[in-house]
Each structure stands twice: as structure tokens, then as C-alpha cells.
Amino acid sequence: MPALTVGVVGASGMVGGELLALLEKRRFPVGKLLPFNSGRRESFVRFRGKRYRCSAPALTALKECGLVFFVSTDEVSARFGKKLAAAGTWCIDDSSHFRLDPSVPLVIPEVNPGGLDGRSRFVAGPNCTITGAAVSLTRVHRRFGIKELRLATYQAVSGAGKSAMEQLRAELSHWLKKGRVPDLPGRGLPHPIAFNVFPQVGGFDAEGNSSEENKVAAELRKIWSAPGLRVSCTAVRVPVLRGHSLAIWARTGKPWTLKSLGREIAAAEGVEFRPGRGDYPTPLGEGDRTFKVYAGRLRRSGTHPREFQLWAVSDNLYKGAAWNSVQIAEKLLTAGKLGV
């Protein structure tokens, strides 16, 4: 069997670390691994018991690979992604740079695997926040036609990368020693996050929406091929290390019963539905190194006869990023598209 050379750009980051662990755990046929970081610091990663030094990415080295995972920054994906795919390398990108590009499929394997037909060797994975809504509600959308979606998100700090996790840990450790939350110099998040929440994930546009709120709306419309879907979102950062939660209000075109909605959610691929009243998922319980989207608290909303509410939790680093990418790679492998 020919060996597959696999590149991971951003191997030293949060998503990169999870991706390497998943490739190992899933016994993905990596013949040779090329791990890349920014080159601004010395970083080592471990894969199958071997220690690798990361280096800065260059097109010549990337072209050695049959498959490259981009888990670094928008700028890096923009610089190399399309050139590499045009040269024949399969690229799976977790950055947001190409997600809305009409020539790039934006794929959640449980929802729209058709994007992996090979017409584009560059495939994007979605924002970690919408996965919970897209995976849990796809069947409901297909059967009852979701017209409007309102979301309040409760997003873990790991969604903002390694430095945000370090910020929360450092603030908590300072609080334990000194009894107050410090305002650390050079913090990456817009406010201290320990014992705090703030309605800002990314920068704001002229309308007052954050970049995360805009991504959620635009990416969901693309994934569901539903340009007319109305989405309204408030994205909130919370002092959780891992696991994004969503409070969802969805209004459909067709009428439903709670029983029929529950059946569709429970039957959705990649979803664990918790119908019990107090049996709802939490980030600590279900959002840490888990592969599924967990949903519960399904109920009628008080505002419209065709509107219901749902609570969903998923691991932003697994289903929201690394696992979604590995699932895409496994589908390409099974379809014989990776040449191994």
C-alpha cells in the first residue's frame, strides 16, 4: 500500500494537537508526517510515540503531501490553500478564509457529504459554533422547513485557541492565590474571562454584529443550501475550557408535534438526543473529547405555534474542528480519493 504523506499546518495549536491524537487513535494511514507551526518558536509534537520538530510551512514541503490539514490562521490558509489544491494535494481547512467561497465545499459529513465528490480538492470545515445546530436540526429542517433560527451561544475559551485557554487558567490561578481576577497584560480575549461572560466573539461590523454571529448565519445558509434562512445570533464567551453550548429557537414553515420533532432529532446521524426533562447535556459532561452533538430540553416556545426550543452541546475542538476534519479525511480515504 503506498504511504500517504500528511501535513498538519498548525500542529502545535489546540486543534492541531487534537487532530494528531485523532489521526493516531483512528489509525489513519499516515506514512509520513510533516508538522508545521509559525516558525516563530520552537515546538515539538508527538505522533505514534515519535517526537517531531515543527517548522514554518513552505509550498515545496507542502507539495510533498497527499493531504494537508490547515489548522492555523486565515492568512496561512489563504497563502497556500488554493495553490496546493491546484497542484493536486487534498486540503482540509479549519480556518474561516474560504468557507463562503462558492468554489469551496463547506462540509459537515453528517449533513452535506456531497461536497466531497472531488470537484474541489480544497474542502472547508465550518465554524465550531454552528455544528451543534446544523447536525441536530438537519432532519427537522428537511422535513418541516426551518425558516427562522435564533441562537444564543455559550462558547468555551478553547474556541479562541491556546492563548485564551492559558488566559483563563492564569486568571484562575491568580484568583486562588490573591483573591481577585487580574487584568493580565497582553490578554487575547477582550475582557478577563474568569467568573465573567461577555457578548463578544470576534470583532464587530458596522451593524453591531460580531464576526462570529455573521459566520454562524452565513455558514448555516451555505451548509443547508438555504439562502433565505433568517438567522439571528448573540455569541457569548463563557469561562468554560471546552465545549460550546447553544440555546436555539427555531421556527418552521410546516406544523409539527413535539413527538415528531424528537423522533427526527433522535434519528439524526451524529446526535444523541436526551428527551428526559432534567437529562440535558453540559459542556463538562458531554463537551470534552466527544464525537457527537448532544441535544435536550426540546419544548414549545412561548412566542409562535411553529417555534420550538432546543439546547445543544458539542466539543468545539472535536466535532467543531479536528474530528470534523478527520471525518472528512476518512470519507475521502474510503472513497479511494487519497490514492492509498
Ligand X SMILES: NC(=O)c1ccc[n+]([C@@H]2O[C@H](COP(=O)([O-])OP(=O)(O)OC[C@H]3O[C@@H](n4cnc5c(N)ncnc54)[C@H](OP(=O)(O)O)[C@@H]3O)[C@@H](O)[C@H]2O)c1
Residue numbers at the binding site for ligand X (CB under 6 A): 9-16, 36-38, 40-41, 43, 56-57, 71-73, 76, 94-96, 128, 158-159, 161-163, 316-317, 320-321
In three-state form (DSSP H/G/I as H, E/B as E, the rest C), the secondary structure along the chain is: CCCEEEEEECCCCHHHHHHHHHHHHCCCCEEEEEEECCCCCCCEEEECCEEEECECCCHHHHHCCCEEEECCCHHHHHHHHHHHHHCCCEEEECCCCCCCCCCCCECCCCCCHHHHCCCCCEEECCCCCHHHHHHHHHHHHHHHCEEEEEEEEEECHHHHCHHHHHHHHHHHHHHHHHCCCCCCCCCCCCCCCCCCCECCCCCECCCCCEHHHHHHHHHHHHHCCCCCCEEEEEEEECCCCCCEEEEEEEEECCCCCHHHHHHHHHHCCCEEEECCCCCCCCHHHHCCCCCCEEEEEEEECCCCCCEEEEEEEECCCHHHHHHHHHHHHHHHHHCCCCCC
Question: What minimum distance in Å lies between the beta carbon of 28 and ligand X?
Answer: 19
Catalytic member of 54, 91, 141, 244: 244
Residue placing its CB nearer to ligand X in the complex, 261 or 293: 293
Task: Give me the sign of the Cα torsion angle 238, 244, 247, 253.
Answer: positive
Catalytic member of 65, 128, 141, 233: 128
Question: What minimum distance in Å lies between the beta carbon of 53 and ligand X?
Answer: 12
Distance (Å, rounded) from C-alpha 340 to C-alpha 337? 8
Question: What minimum distance in Å lies between the beta carbon of 320 and ligand X?
Answer: 5
Question: What minimum distance in Å lies between the beta carbon of 135 and ligand X?
Answer: 14
Return the residue nearest ligand X (CB atom). 13
Residue placing its CB nearer to ligand X in the complex, 162 or 174: 162
Residue placing its CB nearer to ligand X in the complex, 126 or 262: 126
Residue placing its CB nearer to ligand X in the complex, 76 or 146: 76
Residue placing its CB nearer to ligand X in the complex, 94 or 213: 94
The yes-or-no answer on residue 128 being catalytic is: yes
The yes-or-no answer on residue 304 being catalytic is: no
Question: What minimum distance in Å lies between the beta carbon of 304 and ligand X?
Answer: 32
Residue placing its CB nearer to ligand X in the complex, 140 or 220: 220
Question: What minimum distance in Å lies between the beta carbon of 13 and ligand X?
Answer: 2
Residues recognised as catalytic: 128, 244
